[in-house]
Amino acid sequence: MRIPWNTLKITGLIICITGLYAFSDRRAERREITGIQVEFVGEDQLYLTEGMVNKLLIQNYGSLRNVPQDAVVLNTMESVLRTCDMVKNAEVFLAVDGTLHAKIIQRHPIGRVAGTTSFYLDDQGLKMPLSPNHSARVPIITGKITGKSLEDVYEILKYINADSFLSKNVIGIHIEDEADYRLKFRMEDFLVRLGDSTDLDRKFKNFKAFYLKATQDQTLAQYREVNLAFSNQVVCTKI
């Protein structure tokens, strides 16, 4: 009887490989988390600290050091981190050395509502709590705060933030009503009446044309109010 050595060799090799994989998997299951590393990604890194992230994890999972790696569900941990009011997005993964890495993107405020309750408005138009660690230098929103007026203010703030001139000079938005938004500029006692939140491109182009002409003529200090609410004209009020 002829012994099929090649077949036996292949079968033995398969058994060995399978055994090695099973052994490797069992070792991986017994591996423990050796530490936690928090990394803040992007420009906004001021409102949330590493200690605050660690505290949130401890509140939900206890001390993670020496916890078996297979006991941690990374997707669930990401969801927990996203429940933090300062977190825009979170990614959690395990490194080969057993370190648990948490990459955090913090939310970005673009305006601050000053009223009975103060809060930020973020770059997605959502309410964001104030941070005990840092106060953002953003336009202050005052006046009649409603759901509709905040939606309009969000559109106005998006336009302002996309424009280098406006983002440097607009320091406040006052809501007189939902059809009368007023912009406060860095220049003392200088007010721009925007009207409603529609046709922003035309209104701000008209304002820039006025501003450039008044600056060239050195007459800007003579004006206390510029009204952009009208369709085809800029109405200015002198001091």
Establish how many alpha carbons lie within 13 A of residue 48's alpha carbon, considering only the half-sphere containing its beta carbon: 31
pLDDT higher than 70, residue 22: no
In this structure, the dihedral spanned by the alpha carbons of residues 186, 191, 197 and 198, taken in order and rounded to 10 degrees, is -110
Give the whole-number percent of the chain exceeding pLDDT 70. 87
Residues β-bridged to residue 120:
112, 128
- 81-140 pLDDT tens trace: 999 999 999 999 999 888 999 999 999 999 999 988 899 999 999 999 999 999 999 999
Say if CB 100 and CB 92 are below 8 A apart: yes
Residue type for position 45:
Q
Least Cα distance to 84 among 113, 47, 116, 111 occurs for: 47
- The tokens for 196 are 């409603």
Question: 31 pLDDT band (50/70/90 cuts)?
Answer: confident
CATH topology for 31-106 is Ubiquitin-like (UB roll) (3.10.20)
pLDDT higher than 80, residue 153: yes
- 201-212 pLDDT tens trace: 999 999 999 999
Q: How far apart are CA 43 and CA 65, in angstroms?
A: 29
Q: How far apart are CA 159 and CA 174, in angstroms?
A: 16
Domain boundaries, the chain: 31-106, 146-238
- The tokens for 74 are 């990374």
